[in-house]
Structure 1
Amino acid sequence: MTMSPANDQFYIPFGKELAANEKKNRDKAVRSLKRYLTAGGGSLSEADLYKLWKGLFYCFWMSDKPLVQQALANDLGALILDVPEDNVIPFISTFWAVHCAEWHGLDRIRLDKYLLLFRRVIFYSFSWLAENHWEHKKVEAYTACLLDGPLHPTDRTKPDAIVYHIMEVYFEELEKVMEIQQESASDENDDDLSAPMNLLMEPIVTLSTDALNKTTRIKAKQILREYEEFGDEEVEDMTDRDIEAMDEGEESA
């Protein structure tokens, strides 16, 4: 990857610019990044991606006004659609790696705005899959990056708050993307609109059975029941007590 500060269109900014004190300088850095990605900038190494998301983490940290936070959360999530094809999954994976690592250092007043950012990243991740007609290979790569990252079922270092939030908004954001796709694709082949729900459900299903944290397993089962239209019809009639009893049975087996 090459950097050329003299040419804003092909310049990828890192830490100091993205976390500048002045909002106008941070905005300029984000615009430069978008131009770089949209122009099909060079492949980003793992180290580049980590430095980039670390800078963007602090760029978002510096945004204090609600409307600014909302706009920036959307802009950062939408970068997923600008990233060169080969870098999309690493881009998403690194986002989660950085934010899981930084989560416990956040003060309470900033937690909600990062949860908003997570929601937007999930939305645009699904949007990217929809733009690629839910290609199975890409869906599998995306769900694998979640299970290897923030939703790893046996990694206790992952913040529970992030795990629970992803589970809570996962199907909500998926529904939004599918509805938008249906509304805007009246002339397209219906087969291209068919999302592989069995693959997309895999992270939540895995957590419902394999998570070390009992609360996580129960919550995952509850979410699968709540969105029974996406899953097994047998889940529909289960009560919270049934779910907990089933989980206790698995533990004693």
Structure 2
Amino acid sequence: MSDARLPAAEAVESHVRAFFDGHCVEVVDFDLGPERREVVVDGLCVLVVGPGPRSDSWAYVTAGCWAAMEKDGHGLEFVMTAHVRDQRFVELMAMIAYYHCGGHQLDLEHSMPIGEPWVPGSACDHLLISLPYLHGPDLEHCPLPGGYARIPWTLPARPVPRTPAPRMFMYGEHNSSLSYLPALAEGDGELVEMSHCAHFPTGSNAPESGRQGRAGQWLSPLRMPRRRTGTGPDR
């Protein structure tokens, strides 16, 4: 590991050891291979934390992502929890590190496809980046030389099916500047501007809304499905 990155990785390790006081912490070096090592994460390690006073589960924390990706002193490391100590979870953390540092910079509510179940038999084939609700802000905020790292939670997730687009979308003329209208205009549905209306076309101009609605499926602004861009945690 380069001299510039060594203090940051050591500070992450010290932070994790302090938070998980009383737990066994193992430092597992993970070699991503010559090309990935030189371009992305030189000297990546995964901190494997055993059960103890804070939790009866295992935790896996990256050390090396911040040094590779920090901007103005700010960057990320990642934590995952599991009920067992298994090399699979070390490998998943290495995958997250390479994905994050290799051109797909991750942040909260982002997801990463892994191309296979995260564990055998699971329906979850993505990893979701979330606030670390299990461990709280004391682990999340990690001071480092020259800045600080946030340590979000990495959760198994499965894709959320896309919501079918409406065949017709009616909106009041007073809402012609709605931010999502250009995105709807790019689809196959028809946009219909209703005169003398704002948020409630069906109430403000019921006769015209009825005539337009008979042409097919339609949605008013308040019934528009929420756009989802990532994945949700499995339940």
Same fold (TM over 0.5): no
Task: Pick the structure with greater CA Rg.
Answer: 2
Structure holding more strand per residue? 2
Q: TM-score, normalised by structure 1?
A: 0.24
